[in-house]
Each structure stands twice: as structure tokens, then as C-alpha cells.
Structure 1
Amino acid sequence: MGHVPIQGLGKAQVRPRNLVSNETGSALRSFVLGAAFGRRGSTEEMADAILFLASDMSTFMTGHALVIDGGECI
């Protein structure tokens, strides 16, 4: 098993699995329109990134803050 050789994980707004809402508020619409992927991320997508960082596939990464935001910061 690998280790986690990074210093930080930056995430975007995530839609909780148990959220029961129509998600039509103006603040949410504004966020979604400004995001490159046009949606919020899921908790599963965040977990996938964490699993990658904890696996042997990330052994050549070090000192990096991995941003998982669906293009929000571009």
C-alpha cells in the first residue's frame, strides 16, 4: 500500500448524498453556471481522489495540493 505524499486536498462544493432538495436556488445556479463542469461534485468523486492518493499509483507525487473542483478555479 502506498502512502499519502501530498500536503493538501482542495475540494469544491460537494452535493451530499442525502440532500433532498430541488437545487434551484439563485446561489446554486450562480455556482453551477460558473463551474467548468456545470455541476457540483459528488462525495464519491472526492473519495476516488483520496483513494488514488492513498494508493501506489501516487508514489511519485510529493508536496502537491491536489485541487478537485470541477474547473471552478479556472
Structure 2
Amino acid sequence: MLNSKINKWDPIHDIPNQLYLNSLRDEANILTVLLSNVDTDRDISIVFDGVISYQSVIETCSLEQLEKYHYLK
């Protein structure tokens, strides 16, 4: 823990309630998520440096699969 780098977290104020995923990039062990809002030209970029693992799911395909199970109706 002696070599740990500690960064101060500064919260972002005025984040819109509805954001859309513009891009998801995985380059050289750095994951970058770019979000946008249709009402403004301002984008939000979230950068994860040194990502060990993540999972991505296309939700529209998952919802289609849920309709096939009778116990969910």
C-alpha cells in the first residue's frame, strides 16, 4: 500500500438524468466510456485505468430471450 496512488474524487454536478452510450473503448488496459445527452453538447467521459475485468451485455437481445420463458408472463 506504500506505492498506492490516491486521487481525490471531485463529483460532477448537474449530470443529466438520461445519458446515452456514445462509445466504449478498451485500449492498452484502459477502459473509456463516453456518455452524452441529447439536450446538450457536453459529453461525459469515464476512464478506468488498469481494469482487471468487465462484462458487456446487449440488453435488447437479453429482453428478447426473456419473452421465451413462460414463467415470466
Q: Which protein has the bigger strand share? A: 2
TM norm structure 1: 0.23
Q: Which protein has the bigger helix share? A: 1
TM norm structure 2: 0.23
Structure whose alpha-carbon radius of gyration is higher: 2
